[in-house]
Amino acid sequence: MVIKRWGGFVDQPSDLALCHPPDACSAATNGWTHFSEAGRQAPPGVGAVIDEHTNDSELVVAAVGGSAEAFSALIRRHQVLAHRVAYVVSGSASDADDVTQDAFVKAYLNLHRFRTDAPFRPWLLAIVGNEARNRRRAVGRRLHYETKVRYRTEEASGETPEVEVMASAVRDVLLDAVNALPERERTVVGLRYFVELTEEETARALRIPRGTVKSRMSRALRRLRTNLEDSDG
């Protein structure tokens, strides 16, 4: 797994973004947006009202009614986040591609079960998390995060090579400390700080109580603080 920082110095874990290879978050989903089109016809008027302002619940209703355009819009809206969650939980970029595609297929087949008065994103991420856990268990993979740094030219122009080297060293220390965490804590840190999920979304993705997310985060932060202080000493 590669954790990439776009831009300058890492001030906090949420400054990190997940993508591997660099275009994986978009390339991984190429061609998915039309997998539901065969044999589907949009209901009258649906295509005319679907745009970036159409909310998820409206898109779900339209998709259940037969609109491939509506489900394609849901995929475009959530595919990057879904791929990042799959990446964090499965521990593999290649598996994350398959996990995300399988999760969208399962979501499509189960749209009729979705409660339109509930938020769609946590429901989808629960499916993604479940698929990713199953994939990781099947291969017996241990999670391990790595760093790969790429600076945007316009943002990097103001930094000296010495500052960039120092920032890279700080990121390496941070990731080493995260990788030293027990796997359950490491996964929660990955979802909360690297993917920036809420506590509720993290709980849904991992199928654990919200209180468990809090307790694992608390333990993880204590361990990180101790490990980082020890490394400084």
* Higher-scoring residue by pLDDT: 143, 27: 143
For residue 15 the two structure tokens come to: 């400054």
Q: How far apart are CA 163 and CA 88, in angstroms?
A: 29
Same domain for 165 and 134? no
- In terms of DSSP H, where are the helices of 180-209? 183-189, 199-206
Model confidence pLDDT, tens digit, residues 67-112: 999 999 999 999 999 999 999 998 888 889 999 999 999 999 999 9
- Residues 86, 197, single domain; the answer is no
In a domain, 80, yes or no: yes
- Strand segments, DSSP code E, in the chain are 2-5, 16-18, 146-147
Which candidate, 194, 195, 196, 199, places its Cα nearest to that of 217? 199
Residue 118: how many other CB atoms lie within 10 Å: 11
Residue range 41-68: mean pLDDT, rounded:
75
On whether both 192 and 119 belong to a single domain, the answer is no
pLDDT score at 98 = 92
pLDDT at 204 over 80: yes
Domain membership flag for residue 2: no
Q: Given a cut of 80, is residue 29 above it in pLDDT?
A: no
Instruction: Looking at the structure, tell me whether residues 129 and 181 fall in a common domain.
Output: no
Query: What is the arithmetic mean of pLDDT over 196-202?
Result: 94
Q: Are residues 81 and 179 in the same domain?
A: no
Strand partners, 150: 6
Question: For residues 116 and 51, which has the higher predicted lDDT (pLDDT)?
Answer: 116
Which tens digit of pLDDT belongs to each residue from 207-222?
999 999 999 999 999 9
Domain that holds residue 177: 158-232
User: In this predicted structure, what is the pLDDT of residue 109?
Assistant: 94
Rounded to whole angstroms, the Cα distance separating 46 from 60 reads 12
Compute the CA torsion angle 10, 121, 75, 84 (nearest 10 deg): 30
pLDDT tier, 164 (very low <50, low <70, confident <90, very high otherwise): low
Residue 119, domain CATH? 1.10.1740.10
In a domain, 150, yes or no: no
Q: Which of 104-108, 119-123, 177-181 has the lowest mean pLDDT?
A: 177-181
Do 122 and 27 lie in one domain? The reply is yes
Q: Examine residue 9 and state whether it is found in any structural domain, yes or no.
A: no
Same domain membership, residue 186 and residue 113: no
Same structural domain, 29 and 132: yes
Q: For the purposes of burial, counting CB atoms within 10 Å of the CB of 108, is it exposed (0-12), middle (13-18) or buried (19 or more)? A: middle
The radius of gyration of the chain from alpha carbons, rounded to an integer in Å, stands at 19
- The reply to whether 83 and 26 lie within a common domain is yes
* Domain endpoint, select from 111, 139, 167: 139
Residues 131, 200, single domain; the answer is no
Structural domains of the chain, count: 2
Do 49 and 83 share a structural domain? Answer: yes
Per DSSP, the three-state class of 20 is: coil
* 135 and 176 fall within a common domain: no
